Structure 1
Amino acid sequence: MSEVILKNLGLADYEPVWRRMQAFTDERDARTPDELWLVEHPPVFTLGLNARREHVLDPGDIPVVPVDRGGQVTYHGPGQAVLYVLLDLRRRRLGVRALVTHLEQAVVSMLADHGIRAEPRPDAPGVYVDGAKVAALGLRVRRGASYHGIALNVDPDLSAFGRINPCGFEGLEATSLKRLGVEMDVETAGRALAEKLLMKLEG
């Protein structure tokens, strides 16, 4: 399988990273290695292509950014490990649905290592523990390549999710590794998630 480069961007504003993903996707060619970007964002609400503005209930001073991924509204903020997947899907012969499954199962496998049973939901992409969302997922595919990715709640301010209808679901509860009893910093969690995803991609 082709090489995958893992980059840790640290704490970085959402919009410049999004624009970098777009530029990377537009400029890549058949020889460009795939990349995974680990990043933590300052607080931001993002609206996917299917999002309705009324699902942003009380943004306060948190910016609201319409973006080009699929899905509804979600929150990114400190304490969340975001893994962006910049993959040549054509080269990998990988469909979008299969990539979504790989991302979800990477989280499921990671949490299973800590004795936590997590599962995806057929009606709402992402990963859940006892009905509470621990990871949100949204992708865009352009020129046969993916960008955006998955956001895992390590220890974010969960009250921010109460200011939106996460993924368009009123009253959907959010949870985190910390709340589930897993003590882990964002970088460690992000790297563990990336390793699980690489195992899925190489399998």
Structure 2
Amino acid sequence: MQIKRITTPEYTPVYAAMREFTAQRTPATEDEIWLAEHGPAYTLGLAGRREHVLNAHDIPVIATDRGGQVTYHGPGQVVAYPLIDLRRQGIYVKEYVHRIETAVICVLADYGVIGQRVANAPGIYVRLDGRAPSLADSAGPQPAGADPFAGLGKIAALGVKVTNHRTYHGVALNVAMDLAPFTWINPCGYAGLATVDLATLGVQTTWDDAAARLAHHLARVFTLPADTASPASSS
């Protein structure tokens, strides 16, 4: 698996390059992970609704073919694009998403932060009060009417595309950002969803360090056997 640093900050050329790589790859093509730090941009998924962009403030809004609603990319955020052949991995989309989330949880653990999943809301979240999640915070069923995001902030957004068993798009981990642009949208389609970064949580690190850790953990979860790629401790 090759790991590449994308130096182009503009989102659109990277998006086009991902699509071209995926369209041209063969069963023998080596998987790759691309790491990028984009300039300010909002991206919309295939089902993305423009009304979730409350006020773009001159930030470009770019329609894409990934899943999900609207998210923000900007300086201080590590965006990782796993370009993976799922057929060669022997996994399907649900397991693919789970492995990406596991990699992010492992990066957060490296920094002493506990990340967690929320049922039916891809991505990784952290408790804003700093306490450890309880069993009631798990990704299992929630009581009727309960707010699944109560007390949580989103630190990593995930949106993927799979064509002919080959993936592109990926995951964005907030490291040290201007978080204001997240308040100008309904992040991932959820009104009022809090968004945080590692700096907000008191973690002082660099983009390069966070990117290296994310690449390491992504490469690890996509080289482990299927029955060990998603450790129980990350569930």
TM-score (normalizing by structure 1): 0.96
Specify the SS of the correspondent of 1:202. coil
**Which stretches in structure 2 are left out of the alignment for 5+ residues?**
128-151, 225-235
Is residue 47 from structure 1 mapped to residue 68 from structure 2 by the alignment? no
Residue 184 of structure 1: CA displacement? 1.3
**Which stretches in structure 1 are left out of the alignment for 5+ residues?**
none
Q: CA RMSD in A?
A: 0.9
The 8 Å contact of residues 74 and 177 in structure 2, kept in 1 or not, is answered as yes
Residue 143 of structure 1: CA displacement? 1.7
The 8 Å contact of residues 84 and 166 in structure 2, kept in 1 or not, is answered as yes
Residue 10 of structure 1: CA displacement? 2.8
Deviations 1:147-179 (A, max 9, x none): 000000001110110000000000000000111
Q: Distance in 1 between matches of 2:8 and 2:173?
A: 15
Please point out which of 163, 167, 170 is paired with 1:146. 167
The 8 Å contact of residues 8 and 14 in structure 2, kept in 1 or not, is answered as no
Aligned to 2:23: 26
Counterpart amino acid of 2:14? V
Is residue 15 from structure 1 mapped to residue 36 from structure 2 by the alignment? no
The 8 Å contact of residues 47 and 74 in structure 1, kept in 2 or not, is answered as yes
Deviations 1:32-60 (A, max 9, x none): 10000000000000000121110000001
Residue 188 of structure 1: CA displacement? 1.4
Q: What aligned pairs does 1:53-132 form with structure 2 within 5 A after superposition?
A: 53-130=50-127, 131-132=152-153
Q: Distance in 1 between matches of 2:158 and 2:10?
A: 19
Q: Distance in 1 between matches of 2:39 and 2:92?
A: 31
Residue 92 of structure 1: CA displacement? 1.2
Q: Among the aligned pairs, what percent are the same residue?
A: 47
Higher Cα radius of gyration: 2
Matched residue pairs, number?
200
Counterpart amino acid of 2:6? L
Is residue 155 from structure 1 mapped to residue 176 from structure 2 by the alignment? yes
Specify the SS of the correspondent of 1:83. strand
Q: Distance in 2 between matches of 1:10 and 1:157?
A: 20
Q: Distance in 1 between matches of 2:183 and 2:21?
A: 33
Counterpart amino acid of 2:122? P
Aligned to 1:200: 221
Aligned to 2:34: 37
Deviations 1:100-133 (A, max 9, x none): 1111111111111222111011121000001100
Q: Distance in 1 between matches of 2:179 and 2:43?
A: 16
Specify the SS of the correspondent of 1:177. coil
The 8 Å contact of residues 125 and 154 in structure 2, kept in 1 or not, is answered as yes
TM-score (normalizing by structure 2): 0.83
The 8 Å contact of residues 11 and 42 in structure 1, kept in 2 or not, is answered as no
Please point out which of 156, 172, 188 is paired with 1:167. 188
Please point out which of 189, 198, 204 is paired with 1:183. 204
Q: Distance in 2 between matches of 1:85 and 1:102?
A: 11
Specify the SS of the correspondent of 2:222. helix
